[in-house]
Chains A and B, each alone.
Chain A
């Protein structure tokens, strides 16, 4: 497959720094005491400031980047960004050498400082992370990119800070693809939409003329697979986000749906429904070879690969009701793993490999939960009137899903929104979107 350079080239320069084992944030438990962190506005000289203002029409880019970082840190639930009004030290001086006692006074445990420059029409950003109590520098990095990428700079810095303080990769320099919804329930208009993880830079990828559902990112990021009712033929498509080129991949004599990429991005796994029976198939995107994976008179759908590509989890009603199964990727050794009361659907394998997230319907309530890949250790994270379709953050710590509200007899009061929740079951949040939204899919990290 042609590899498209989606990323604007980002150059990392590591500024030499001694590393100590200093502050750490434990992300395995619901964090009731988020780490107080001071994000000092990024500083710049007057020359860069006016040049950037001219280029981007943003008055104070340094502060705007800091706001992106603060917002990310706050929403993670692990950090408590402190109010800027209390900061005593000037940003440019703090970046050179913080007066730690000033920052300790406002109860900051970590401090982030930085500087932006415009050099040869490139935005150069450097930042430092400091442990206030130990009085030590923890991390120092600099990178350059095109100025219009400034929000991504904020996301990349957040990822570095998160990684340094938690020991795990972040999920901030990522995007969400979803279905944007408008109009009454009986005539809902649906479009593919994509936005940054924090809800900015929304773009609509289809016009809403045909019904589109269940977009999912390729692990290589610039391609999505989804279901489109183009010409009233429900088929699986792929779409290159950068070029806008769409292509049908599941053009079988019947409906193809529920697509996902294999972990290497080379295959699409999907359901094919014909004569009242849905089974799971794969298609190799290079040579177009189709393989049948399941062959059972029941409904087999919602397939999802394990990150090593050796197993597939899927949804089947072969027991009489919707349950979750795991099989080898060739379709052998099928084993049911869900045994609780009610129905189970939409299994999705965690990028860490150890858990499967799912939707459970029991006594008229919908739950998002996780279980181990052998079905043990089931934990329900959230209960609601209607919610489904979890998708993992690339580090496997957060799930995004959608919720619908109960409506009145004329459909009044209906809404569909994206929500996120930590694997711990804490930090449940509405993910704001310009329109109603469903079927979210989280990209992997854009920069690695």
Chain B
């Protein structure tokens, strides 16, 4: 009697853990491909300034810290800008829709400046880079999902001339 109860419980636990791990795997796969640690890693909205030079970097919620991938993208942008010394750029900072408008304007400015600072440390003169924040006003993805929001938290480097 006691033994059978033990088996039954074990069976339940096993079954439950199988169900749970199945869920977890599915979820992990779905998000892993596009978002890592709240930062978008996909290429959906990404454009190219030149061959292999992505035009944008992405941020975590409420953050303006550059990820390893972002720094890599910006180093490539810096190399491209050094090669094309007549080009000037505008860095456009953006946020997702889940914040107050005014704070987002400031946060977008902070994000674009994080990118600007990094380009400057790789030898791009500040007079070649201007910065503008659009806050949450110009989303690239109009959805209301964590994936859409992650694409919208971005700084985009745009050729100005």
Residues in A lying within 8 Å of B, measured CB to CB = 184-186, 188, 211, 213-214, 227, 232, 234, 254-255, 257-258, 271, 273, 275-278, 299, 301-302, 315, 317, 321-322, 343, 345-346, 359, 361, 364, 386, 388-389, 404, 406-411, 414, 438-439
Contact = CB atoms under 8 A, between A and B. Distances in A.
> Chain B interface residue count: which class?
20 to 34
B117 interface: yes
Nearest to B100: A345
Interface centre among B97, B105, B114, B143 (most CB of A within 10 A): B105
9 contacts: A185-B142, A186-B140, A234-B105, A255-B109, A271-B106, A407-B143, A408-B144, A411-B143, A439-B101
Interface in B128-143: 132-134, 137-143
A406 B97 CA distance: 10
Contact of B117 (A276, A408, A411): A276
B99 A361 contact: yes
Contacts of A388: 100-101
Contacts of B62: 321
B102 interface: yes
B157 interface: no
Nearest to B105: A257
Given A255-B109, A271-B106, A411 B101 contact: no
Interface in B106-139: 106-107, 109-110, 112-114, 117, 132-134, 137-139
Nearest to A179: B101
Contacts of A321: 62
B47 to A, nearest CB: 15
B148 interface: yes
Contact of A271 (B100, B102, B132): B102
A186 B139 contact: yes
Nearest to A299: B106
Contacts of A301: 102-103, 105-106
A302 B110 contact: no
A112 B109 CA distance: 55
Contacts of A186: 138-142
B133 A234 contact: yes
B110 A276 contact: yes
Contacts of A254: 109
A321 B61 CA distance: 11
A258 B107 CA distance: 13
Nearest to B126: A275
B142 A258 contact: no
A301 B134 CA distance: 15
B150 interface: no
Nearest to B92: A232
A213 B104 CA distance: 12
A273 B137 contact: no
B64 interface: yes
Contact of A299 (B107, B134, B139): B107
B146 to A, nearest CB: 10
A386 B97 contact: yes
A405 to B, nearest CB: 8
B144 to A, nearest CB: 4
A114 B141 CA distance: 56
